[in-house]
Amino acid sequence: MAFNSIHFRSQFPSLQCEGVYLDSAATALKPLVMIEATKDYYQNVATVLRSKHTKALALDAQYELARSLTADLINAQYSHEIVWTKGATESINLVAQGYARKNLNIGDEIIVSELEHHSNLIPWIQVAQQTGAKVIKWPIEIDGTLSVDCLQTLITPKTRIIAVTQMSNVTGFQPDIYEISRIAHQHNAIIVVDGAQGIVHHPIDMQQYQIDFYAFSAHKLYAPTGLGVLYGKADLLEKMDCWQSGGKMLKSVSFTDFEPANIPYKFEAGTPNIAAVVGFYAVLDWLKSIDNFAATHYTINLVKDALIKLKTLPDINIHSVANSSLITFSIKDIHHDDIAILLAEQDIAIRSGELCAQPLMQALNCKGVIRASFMPYNSSMDVDKFILAIENAISILK
């Protein structure tokens, strides 16, 4: 099916104003179908997996259908391999505390790429401190990419986990996840992939890639905040310890012990973010009508146009890779936050700073960057306004 950018853009109410939104790597804008679904839930509120009245039972079915649609999105083998969390950060922490803490021993090694967002670094530092394991840095190359050959030199008989992003939130680089997964399993290690940035542009096939754990946040995929997904292979989830406990994550309990529920419910203690799951269901159903490949191609072409124009400006240093949905750059002798403030005054939303990736910033020899991230709801007019705003900001600051 052809991608109609004008029709796609029209489905986002927040774009009816004059501003330009180029901060989608932080959170995506929300389509009307999601907004209406969430509103409808709160107007007809019920809980899930507890009550037996009509509204609750209907909601139970929708709640589990959302899980099935999520499994379909990433081609998980079973819907019960999908665990609801509050975000990608919690998903990775669940793996660290529920799987790694139980299975790591003193001297074991966790390879973590230098590209990682703090959410896919700090949980591994923490669990290493708890178990006596070691975090091994997988450094970036001079061009900001990751080398699979380098990974091969880092792996030892002590390697237990390889943690890597699907797409860097700073450079936009996408590692070869298929090859990394193959190498990990060849050395009896597991692979944990942070899909927060990649899921919206390039959903990964879990069975084809044989990924062990995959985490992402719904809000990056047009859905509500406060909802995340952890995919895990069923056999690994079965062996994991519960990280949080309370209501509805058990089969039976006494004052001396409890029996956890089956997966995924043993990881979903307490009342879940029902409205977010309902909103996510609406988004997943809506996405069936979108040609994601064509939408991503359109987005990357916008970025290419923006890059060509941006590179004509003085003292611009580009830090992102080609064929990405985002641009990160710095400007000689100008602070990144000054640019962000001046663009905000022109009603253009971008991101500036360390982007929750301090070790990567150190590797790039940057104190901070300016990031413009694009989605299929952006337009060529957005590109022109963005470039003009950068020109104006440079003329003021210099």
pLDDT score, position 52: 81
3-class DSSP assignment, residue 228? strand
| Global pTM exceeds 0.95 | yes
Would residue 356 show up in a list of annotated catalytic residues for this protein? Answer: yes
CA 213 – CA 194 distance, rounded (Å): 9
3-class DSSP assignment, residue 151? helix
pLDDT score, position 18: 86
Domains and CATH numbers, the chain: 5-30+291-397 (3.90.1150.10), 34-288 (3.40.640.10)
- How far, CA to CA in Å, does 90 sit from each of 205, 213, 362? 22, 13, 26
pLDDT along the chain (398 residues), means of 10: 89 94 98 97 87 85 96 98 98 98 98 98 98 98 96 98 98 98 98 98 96 98 98 98 91 95 96 97 97 96 98 96 97 97 97 98 96 98 98 95
- How far, CA to CA in Å, does 12 sit from each of 8, 17, 30, 38? 8, 11, 6, 15
∠ CA 31-32-36, rounded to 5° = 130
pLDDT score, position 1: 58
Residue of 17, 150, 356, 366 with catalytic role: 356
